[in-house]
A and B are shown apart, each in its own frame.
Chain A
């Protein structure tokens, strides 16, 4: 037996109070851990999602953030379209490795249908840096640009909708649920393996097939009779308005049907060209250029406020926890004055008594810390599938860097010492004789 085991036995004697104070400590620690894990996980996930997307071109009225959300995360509505000519010009820019046209406007059971060309799968890597072309699940293949009504489905979308190689499906018009179904049928030729990026949530179809769909064809001249059978309005973006006349090169590359694009994803020969390229392209009137990595950085600067707020809440919970440890021990010392006096009578120095009380506080904080780290990780693990489903980003649920745990341990040790010091001082000053004998 030693001072540590005496402290431990003191805590066990007051199991309920110990459990409650340790629990409140755990809540604070758990919150801090969870915020930290989600924050760093989200940042990593966003950075992973931005891989390969050096610049995104979009319609001139589409904001850079909206273009990023559209092209990378398959969310947000496009405000306007950009002309095919801009894509043709981008292809010829010497800094460009890949320029991939994208047209959006339909969904399949909640998952966005992305009309694109096959070199998207060369331009864009997964979270580990391997091109999507290498990530086709066995038994499938990618589509060719002239492949007709063929589709390649992201892993998550495939898992949730049950789409497998060989399956056929129709899409729903409009980017939100509630639109009406198109008649055309696509055939799944490939399913991607999980990439850890929002592309897991996309249904890719050939660009040409996208424009073969009724309702995606070129709008009639104003005043002309509307001969297609859609009776909803088309102002929600996508391929439903505007347009320009075809020329020979585009006819060769895209066929006649493609009359405008939502975005163009540009992979440059070096990321170092990003800002120069985007600056050059922002001088054009028919499109605007966004650098997604910069947009994500800006987004996180906004999110930082919320992040700070959550941290402040975590810190407050911790502070309350420390105060409850303090209050609990203060009362315990009050109730145990007789026992403390007894220990002193049995030879305990004041420093011993002080140490036992401080140790109790540190042990409570340590218990709370271990439980809190567990809470935090369990919370993150529970939130991860939801984030994947709702936002399409994968949060790392593994352990944080050792330094984080070190920081938590150090912080809790400090809090324990602070919370224990005052009750320990009280214990230190317990007069021995008065609390051992009933008065004469």
Chain B
């Protein structure tokens, strides 16, 4: 069995709303091994987005332990959290979230700028990644000049910029038509085949079906885990 890259132990995230405590996460236990392809599903309010935020270090757990690549990241200070996000995690969003004033290569470079990668190397790596995503003819284009599928490819290239431990995707095909969605899912399959650890939050059973395992959330807890394929196996 591969080494775990993500270990969540008794993880809680509690909000205070109108004087009442609301537990968005209520004791989550989850382990994700290196190279796994995990889908997180659940109805609205089940805590799946909060889980993604905590996994992505965008939000802090109220209590519990989060080991990322073996390092306890649940109590890091803000600067260290930023560094962890930039170097060890990659994000893909439903609405792409590209920076409009930057072109394709520059968008891919951003995480490298913050990780302190040199100008020249950043440019080379960003160009190579964009080309690998099939954007070779669009390197100098701004996001507004790209189709939705192309924008999501840029976002995936950007997520891979610092070769992260885990790539986190939030409804990556939610804004795309079926055919383009399939292309993006194909890209994710390819990344998985190359050993990248993927975590995808989705409502779409068709998307979840591509994963090895489906983590089903309910009321802030992991309700059950469905196994589509043995962990580590490629599709």
How far apart sit A2 and B109, CA to CA, in the bound complex (Å)?
10
Question: A433: CB under 8 A from chain B?
Answer: yes
Is there an interface contact between B97 and A347, defined as CB atoms closer than 8 Å? no
Is there an interface contact between B87 and A349, defined as CB atoms closer than 8 Å? no
Is there an interface contact between B53 and A437, defined as CB atoms closer than 8 Å? yes
Stretch at the interface among B114-122, B183-191, B221-229: B114-122
Is there an interface contact between B47 and A349, defined as CB atoms closer than 8 Å? no
Is there an interface contact between A338 and B97, defined as CB atoms closer than 8 Å? yes
Residues from 394 to 440 in A contacting B, C-beta threshold 8 Å: 432-433, 436-440
For A439, list chain B residues within 8 Å (CB): 49
- How far in angstroms is the closest Cβ of chain B from A356? 11
Given that A348-B86, A351-B79, A437-B170 are known contacts, is A339 also in contact with B99, CB under 8 Å in the complex?
yes
At the interface, is chain A mostly helix, strand, loop or mixed? helix
Is there an interface contact between A433 and B111, defined as CB atoms closer than 8 Å? no
Question: B3: CB under 8 A from chain A?
Answer: no
Is there an interface contact between B101 and A9, defined as CB atoms closer than 8 Å? yes
Closest partner residue, chain B, to A8 (CB atom): B101
How far apart sit A201 and B11, CA to CA, in the bound complex (Å)?
90
Contacting residue for B49 out of A13, A342, A437, CB 8 A: A437
Closest partner residue, chain B, to A12 (CB atom): B101
Question: A352: CB under 8 A from chain B?
Answer: yes
- How far in angstroms is the closest Cβ of chain A from B22? 12
Q: What 0/1 pattern do residues 151 to 191 of B give for CB contact below 8 A with A?
A: 00000001000100000001000000000000000000000
For B207, list chain A residues within 8 Å (CB): none
Contacting residue for B110 out of A10, A346, A351, A438, CB 8 A: A346
Is there an interface contact between A440 and B93, defined as CB atoms closer than 8 Å? no
The tally of CB-CB contacts under 8 A between chains A and B is 82
Is there an interface contact between B82 and A344, defined as CB atoms closer than 8 Å? yes
Is there an interface contact between B122 and A1, defined as CB atoms closer than 8 Å? yes
Closest partner residue, chain A, to B114 (CB atom): A347
Closest partner residue, chain A, to B52 (CB atom): A437
- How far in angstroms is the closest Cβ of chain B from A427? 14
Q: What 0/1 pattern do residues 245 to 273 of A give for CB contact below 8 A with B?
A: 00000000000000000000000000000
Is there an interface contact between B106 and A1, defined as CB atoms closer than 8 Å? yes
For B136, list chain A residues within 8 Å (CB): none
Is there an interface contact between A440 and B45, defined as CB atoms closer than 8 Å? yes
Closest partner residue, chain A, to B90 (CB atom): A346
Is there an interface contact between B101 and A346, defined as CB atoms closer than 8 Å? no
Closest partner residue, chain A, to B86 (CB atom): A347
> 6 A-B pairs, CB-CB below 8 angstroms?
A2-B119, A342-B97, A342-B99, A347-B82, A348-B82, A440-B44
